[in-house]
Each structure stands twice: as C-alpha cells, then as structure tokens.
Amino acid sequence: MTRAAVLSGLGGFVPPRVVTNDELARRLDTSDTWIRTRTGIAQRHVIAPGTTTSDLAAEAGRRALKSSGTDDVDLVVVATTTPDRICPATAPTVATRMGLVDVPAFDVAAVCSGFLYALHTAAAAVVAQLADSVLVIGAESFSTLLDPEDRTTSVIFGDGAGAVVLRAGESDEPGAVRDVRLGSDGSLADLITVRGGGAEHRSHGLSAGNGDPYFRMRGKEVFRSAVQRMSESSRSVLARTGWEVSDVDRLVAHQANTRIIQAVAEQLGLPPERALVNIDRVGNTSAASIPLALADGTVDGALRPGHRVLLTAFGGGATWGAATLVWPDLTAG
C-alpha cells in the first residue's frame, strides 16, 4: 500500500468569554437581526486581556494529542494570521509549552486557508518520510486585529484554535488525506489585509504605529471570489480523488459566513444539510475554523466514521484550497 498521512487525533478550544450580537449592538450601529441575516452568527468567543494565540494553540494541541493517544510528534505546524509577535514564529513557543522538546516547529500564514496549507505541508512531510507524526494547529486571536468601530468586521470574527494529529499510515485507511489542491492570486492582496506593521509601510519610513493596524476586507468582492475559488478547488480535488459530488457526505467549508457556505454547496450541487455549520456559535475563526468545525461535528454526531468529507477554504493572499478524506473513528479532545 502507498504511504499516507492519516488523521488520528482532533482537538478544539475557544476562550471562555462569549460576546453576543446584542452586546455588539450596544456599541455599534447594528442589531442581532442585521448580524444574523448577513452572517449567520449569533455569538463569538473572544480572548481575555493577556491571552495570546499561543495559549489557544497549545490547549487545542494538547487536546488533539490526547485524542490521538500520544504525547509526542516529529513536527509542529501552526497556521495563524495573528502570531504572538511578528518575529519570532509562534509555533516554537507552542511546542515548548506542550513539552515537545527539540521538535521542529514553524508557522504557515495563509489567513483563512491556513489550515489547509498547513495540512498539505504536514501530509507531504509524512508521505516523504520526513516525519512519522505531525501536529497541525490552526489558531487565531482575530479580535486583536479588528477595528472596534467597524461593524462590517467586528461582528464577523472570533477567537479560537483547532488541531489535528497526522500519523504515517496507508492510503486506504479511514482518515488518510486523499488529496489536497491549493491556489493563490497575489493580485487580490487588498481584498483581505492588514496594511500596517509589516515591511511594506516601514520601508517607506513609517514607524510601526503609523500604519493602519486593523483588518480590512472588501466584503462583496470577497464573497464572489470565495464562492468561485472554493467551488473550483472542490471540483478539482474531487476529480483527482475519483469522487463524484454525490459521493460527498459532508462539506466542511471555512466558516466565513453562512451565505458563502450555502452558495458553495449550491454551486457544487450538494444538499445544504450536508454542509457542517458552527459559525453561529463561534464566528469566523479564520485558520481555526475548519478544525473547530471538525471537532464540533465529531462531538455532536454530524461527522460519523466512514463519511466522505470535502474540506475547502478561501482566505487572504488571496489563497484557497480543498482536500478530501474518509472520516475515521475517533473522539475529539
């Protein structure tokens, strides 16, 4: 049999503080009805002062390791747009906090597609025999990037982390990553961006505090691009896997908003009930959204062993991708 990366552990974590739509409506020109209608979100979780992305990532990672029944891995990959610092990467901090000594660790930055990019990187390392086990984490403290006066972004995003453990196995096993298709288009960089703080504005003689520090998004253009690219990459990965759309039992799309998820399902010809949705409870958690949805789906029974699962995402960059696997028999940590 062909060597493959097999999903063997799963964990999710969101910070305890819940921010409801009504709480946001008290300080923004919005309402619970407006937010629910446009996004499908009822609440989101937000970190407390002093909490960092590495805190969320380490907790999700611990839960994934517990789910897998192991306490060690050969590699740690963290997908995040909200690292603890611009320098150094967050992954080594996460590995150290988890007691993973001398383990290579690095970050992947692909915004809302970050988990799929990290999953592909980790699976490739396993297939190439560079590692026998990898911890893949998507973690975000997106609330730290939001303009508190911008209702178009402040109502959408939440904080959280999700993680999976991949182990070396065989391609016909449940949980084996069947295929991953990725893409990008840098000409769309301004659709989803944080302009301040990076080398671009510093090279023009601006200090770190003089650039726009907040997340900005051109919502209508993002909607169109997300639906198009997620649908295209999904069809591509299904063709390479040898599946028909009708073979897909569960669509686990990046939880951007319910309208995007529904539009992708419609474009693919999938019944809406096959799409997993947890954005109503956690908001858009960017790189953490897919593994958090997987964890929630496992806990509530929406994901069952043997389900043929299609993952897909679109994020800043612009980046996008899709992946396929047959769901294994495991318990989320």
Residues carrying an active site annotation = 112, 254, 284
Q: Burial, 26: exposed, middle or buried (Cβ in 10 Å; 0-12, 13-18, 19+)? A: exposed
∠ Cα 57 28 32 (to 5°)? 80
Q: How far apart are CA 138 and CA 315, in angstroms?
A: 13
Residue 227 backbone dihedrals phi, psi, to 5 degrees: -65, -45
Mapped onto helix, strand or coil, the DSSP state of residue 332 is: coil
Q: How far apart are CA 246 and CA 239, in angstroms?
A: 12
| DSSP codes, 155-204 | TTB-EEEEEEEEEEEETTSTTBEEEEEEEE-GGGGGGEE--TTSHHHHTT
Report the helix count and the strand count for the chain, using DSSP H and E: 11, 13
Q: E strand or H helix at 228, and its extent?
A: helix 219-241
Residue 223 backbone dihedrals phi, psi, to 5 degrees: -55, -50
